[in-house]
Amino acid sequence: MRADFFGKNVHIARHVETNKNVLGIHGSSDECSMSEHTVKQLNWLARYIQSHNIKRIIFGKTTQCEFTSDWLAKELNIEQHAFEIAPFNMGDYAGLTHTQLRERNLNLSIAMEQFRYRVLPYKRTLLTELDDPDSMSQELLLWSESVPKKFLNDSIYILSSSLVNKLLNFSKGVLPNSDLYFNIGFDTSCAINIHSWRNSKKQWPYIEHKTLTTRLGNVVVAEHKPALSAFKKSTVIIYPGVFGCSRFGPYNLFNRLAKRLAQMGIRCIIFDPIGSGESSDIYRSLETEIESLNAVVGSYSRTSYLTICAHSISANIVSRHNFDAALKRHFISPLLNISKLKKLWGVTDKPFSRHGLNFSGSLLDGLRMQENSNTSYYFGTNDEYVDLSQINDLSRNAQVNVFKLAGHNFSEVDTSIDLINLISENIKAENTQ
């Protein structure tokens, strides 16, 4: 089999999101009601098809794929055809949510995660008890012998996750019974030219560390890079909170957020500001924070559409910074009353230490939140540092999200999971508009 099997202008997209995805249901299911993101994703895919001169849609045999294809074909007056390869067979586990699957078969659930996060290739997981890799490989080879030639040019394939995996791996000459057959990690409504991605043996997503040199010291950056991305021009910068935080965040919060965004195909940057983590060990001040932020933003602003996600006092710093007004901001637990907190913490103009780090006393000066309509706020009802009665003073055009039981660091129960999921979906929606 040749790796260049497909012809010209061939694209692959995963079906749009429906409530089946929101509920986390595995395998075949008739659940296809629209989620809050469905229409935006459909419109984005329609624009993608028009801009790439695509002449036909080939859709997979699932309810969600058919729904996506039917809507696009009607909207664009374009021909559509069924894809003659069966989706992944979940057997008796089809229709279960991930929680239900863990209760029924924990080992199978873990195997799915190992494949999904590229820990193991398909043939080395327990997934083989559901779909035999040799049978899957044979099915692909038989399809390649009978597929109409016109399907291999100027077409877009609207597929489920498993079919995206089969076809993209197949486009590089990799069959399911190979140790090279890994999960692609393709998110809903994403689309890509089949020839534009590289088959990489690296862990997906993978992390690259960089050191940025500034006049005040070095800034260490961790870049979470997806091997496959439908958002090549998008970069999210996570700016960790000041007190006691490195780029990992409380209970690994920022690392987990960065990994989730990279899994969705969005490059994500986390950094240690000067004076924290692995960056230069000097007194932190408002000047060093701005220097660190400028270094990171400057490194990526020339080639990317930037979004900044900042926590606590760092959100206040970003709010006061002279960034482009169109820049999207996501603020986690920003401080709404700095003066009150300075008294609570006993901070004066003199240098002080907190959680083993040294700070200039002027760090908190003048950091009242600035109004900006391109900002989404995330607060917890149990945040001891934020008076929620003040959130009404934020911009009327801003999106304010309040999480029950969450504290300042979102470390209570499952609030961090809910936070990560909402921020990720909001950022993805911004990138598909």
CATH value at residue 63? 3.40.50.1240
Q: Which residue has the higher pLDDT, 326 or 297?
A: 297
**167 and 236 within one domain:** no
- Structure confidence at residue 370 (pLDDT): 67
Residue 20 lies inside a defined structural domain of this protein: yes
Residue 294 has pLDDT above 60, yes or no: yes
- Structure confidence at residue 221 (pLDDT): 95
Residue 202 has pLDDT above 70, yes or no: no
Span 61-69, average pLDDT: 90
Span 284-291, average pLDDT: 86
Q: Are 271 and 239 in contact (CB under 8 A)?
A: yes
Structural domain boundaries, residue 290: 206-431
Residue 175 lies inside a defined structural domain of this protein: yes
**215 and 114 within one domain:** no
Residue 406 lies inside a defined structural domain of this protein: yes
Buried b (16+ CB within 10 A) or exposed e, 276-287: bbbbbeebbbbe
Token pair 């949510």 in the structure block, residue = 97
Among 171, 193, 215, residue at a domain's last position: 193
Buried b (16+ CB within 10 A) or exposed e, 39-66: ebbbbbbeebbeeeebebbbbbbbbbbb
Q: What single letter denotes the amino acid at residue 154?
A: D
Peptide bond preceding 205 in cis form (omega within 30 of 0): yes
**427 and 307 within one domain:** yes
- Structure confidence at residue 281 (pLDDT): 82
**312 and 257 within one domain:** yes
Among 139, 162, 193, residue at a domain's last position: 193
Q: Domain holding 337: CATH number?
A: 3.40.50.1820
How far from the centroid of its chain's Cα atoms is residue 384's Cα? 29
- Range scoring the smallest mean pLDDT among 214-223, 266-275, 370-379: 370-379
Residue 5 lies inside a defined structural domain of this protein: no
Residue 149 has pLDDT above 70, yes or no: yes
Q: Which residues contact 367 (CB under 8 A, 6 or more apart)?
A: 286, 313, 316, 317, 319, 320, 335, 338
- Structure confidence at residue 1 (pLDDT): 45
**264 and 149 within one domain:** no
**219 and 177 within one domain:** no
**164 and 234 within one domain:** no
Highest mean pLDDT among 68-77, 204-213, 267-276: 68-77
- Structure confidence at residue 233 (pLDDT): 79
Average pLDDT of the chain, as a whole number:
85
Q: Which residues contact 227 (CB under 8 A, 6 or more apart)?
A: 185, 197, 198, 200, 202, 204, 205, 206
Span 340-351, average pLDDT: 71
Residue 147 lies inside a defined structural domain of this protein: yes
Residue 223 has pLDDT above 70, yes or no: yes
- Structure confidence at residue 203 (pLDDT): 56
Residue 49 has pLDDT above 60, yes or no: yes
Q: How far apart are CA 257 and CA 12, in angstroms?
A: 26
- Structure confidence at residue 207 (pLDDT): 87
* Percentages (nearest 5) of helix, strand, coil residues in the chain: 35, 20, 45
Residue 3 lies inside a defined structural domain of this protein: no
**130 and 224 within one domain:** no
Is the CA virtual torsion 427, 323, 270, 285 positive or negative?
negative
DSSP code of residue 97: B
Q: Which residue has the higher pLDDT, 163 or 195?
A: 163
Domain count, the chain: 2
**237 and 98 within one domain:** no
**186 and 67 within one domain:** yes
- Structure confidence at residue 352 (pLDDT): 66
Q: Which residue has the higher pLDDT, 277 or 236?
A: 236
**103 and 32 within one domain:** yes
Residue 25 has pLDDT above 80, yes or no: no
Q: Is 320 left (phi over 0), alpha (psi -120 to 50) or beta?
A: alpha
Residue 343 lies inside a defined structural domain of this protein: yes
Span 398-404, average pLDDT: 90
Is the CA virtual torsion 36, 39, 44, 45 positive or negative?
positive
Among 193, 221, 250, residue at a domain's last position: 193
Residue 198 lies inside a defined structural domain of this protein: no
- State percent of the chain over pLDDT 90: 38
Highest mean pLDDT among 27-41, 228-242, 287-301: 287-301
Residue 423 has pLDDT above 70, yes or no: yes
**183 and 56 within one domain:** yes
Residue 30 has pLDDT above 70, yes or no: no
- Structure confidence at residue 144 (pLDDT): 92
- Structure confidence at residue 48 (pLDDT): 93
Q: pLDDT tens across 349-389, in order? A: 777 676 666 767 676 666 676 666 788 999 999 998 888 88
